[in-house]
Structure 1
Amino acid sequence: MADFQLIHRPAVHEAFASSAGAVTLQPLPEGRVIQVLGKPDGDDPRQILGEFAGVEPHGLRSAGPGQWFIVGDSPMTHDEFQAMAAKLAQHAFLVDQSHGRVRVGLKGTRIVDVLAKGTGVDLDRVAVGESAMTLVGHISVHLTRLAPDAIELMVLRGFAESLWDDLVRMSREFA
């Protein structure tokens, strides 16, 4: 058997900034994305997740009824994942999506105007910490409001470059 080495290549690797900070696009660290699927007969796993270091309030994102994403900038070790899965075994299933999802950050005073070109979500009504599953153009994204002027889009890895290109085109008006 031949020796081989896996090479990690980021899905998106360059930032885009418009003039005067109106819009900045930035690939976010490919750390951890863990999907939490609550069991129908289990307790709410969010209380248990709060016991784990690194799962801050903004790191736990709603993905639908009984579903969440645990998101962070640093990877989770296999032992940390196993410990969390064992602690939640009666309440939820965990699925590591870190390899298959990419996060893109948008910051600036015009991010709502940029995203209004591609999604039907009324972003003025999405409070800090809230999330929504939506489309940006033809691409399905998980959108989270991180701050009044910051939004994160999480997308399947195979669509990251296409989403990035669309976001750059939608932002050019504000350059």
Structure 2
Amino acid sequence: MARLIALGAFGDRLPLQLGDVTCTEVMRDALFCIAPYRGQQQAVSAALKVQLGLRLPAVGRRKAAGDVICQWIGHDAWIVSAPVTLAGLAAVTDQSDGYATLEIAGPSVEAVLARLVPLDLRAATFKVNHSARSLLGHLPVAITRTGAQAFEVMVMRSMAASLVHDLQQAMTGVAARGSA
């Protein structure tokens, strides 16, 4: 009988450490995209407060309540990491198998991301719980600052290997510069 081994979206590519930066997979059991119907954003926010303990964050932001996150991911769309019931208020689609998320952290994380992301991600301008849709190299991603030296990067699951490859190249360059 075959033995199946459960692997995350990144397979055996993570964890990865080069220099003082590490990448680790962020596992979430559920991800749901919420797109409020026209005029229902306030009602959706109130329903989420009752169901999850948090409201819809502003554009470009993320909120958390315990292990549950709610993050803006684009025009009138948010992603939450828990099932919700919003009948008549919003379109809700299960994206649990559609995305892969990793955390990239360490003292040189901003230098690594500066090589790949065309945004100013320095802590002075991109604060904790700020979130943006952007490109990382050639990949469309959602990127969120989660700590002083930590970010989460969410990408379509089919692009997980490319994400790790691009980050590994940038991490190698930054690590080499630091050792010179």
TM range (shorter): 0.7 to 0.9
Matched, 1:68 2:68: no
| 6-15 or 162-171, larger mean C-alpha shift | 6-15
Matched, 1:157 2:157: yes
Alignment of 1:127-138 (within 5 A): 127-138=127-138
Matched, 1:32 2:30: yes
Counterparts of 2:53 and 2:29, CA distance in 1: 12
TM-score by length of 1: 0.80
Deviations 1:104-159 (A, max 9, x none): 10111111110111110111222211111101111100111111211000000110
Return closer, same or farther for 1:163/1:152 CA change in 2, 3 Å cut-off.
Answer: same
Alignment of 1:76-95 (within 5 A): 81=83, 84-85=84-85, 88-95=86-93
Alignment of 1:104-143 (within 5 A): 104-124=102-122, 125-143=125-143
Counterparts of 2:96 and 2:90, CA distance in 1: 18
Letter of the 2:158 partner, please give it: G
**In the alignment, what sits opposite 1:167?**
167
The 3-state SS of whatever aligns with 2:160 is: helix
Residues 139 and 159 in structure 2, CA contact (< 8 A), matched pair in contact too: yes
Task: Give the aligned length.
Answer: 158
The 3-state SS of whatever aligns with 1:158 is: helix
The 3-state SS of whatever aligns with 1:172 is: helix
| 5-14 or 133-142, larger mean C-alpha shift | 5-14
Counterparts of 1:93 and 1:43, CA distance in 2: 11
Return closer, same or farther for 1:118/1:34 CA change in 2, 3 Å cut-off.
Answer: same
How well do the aligned residues superpose, as a CA RMSD in angstroms?
2.3
Unaligned runs of 5+ in 2: 56-62, 176-180
Letter of the 2:98 partner, please give it: G
Residues 100 and 157 in structure 1, CA contact (< 8 A), matched pair in contact too: yes
Unaligned runs of 5+ in 1: none
The 3-state SS of whatever aligns with 2:168 is: helix
TM-score by length of 2: 0.78
Matched, 1:52 2:62: no
Counterparts of 1:6 and 1:93, CA distance in 2: 35
Counterparts of 2:22 and 2:169, CA distance in 1: 13
The 3-state SS of whatever aligns with 2:166 is: helix
Q: Deviating runs (4+, > 6 A) in structure 1?
A: none
Query: How high is the sequence identity, in percent, across the aligned residues?
Result: 27
Matched, 1:9 2:7: yes
Residues 23 and 174 in structure 1, CA contact (< 8 A), matched pair in contact too: no
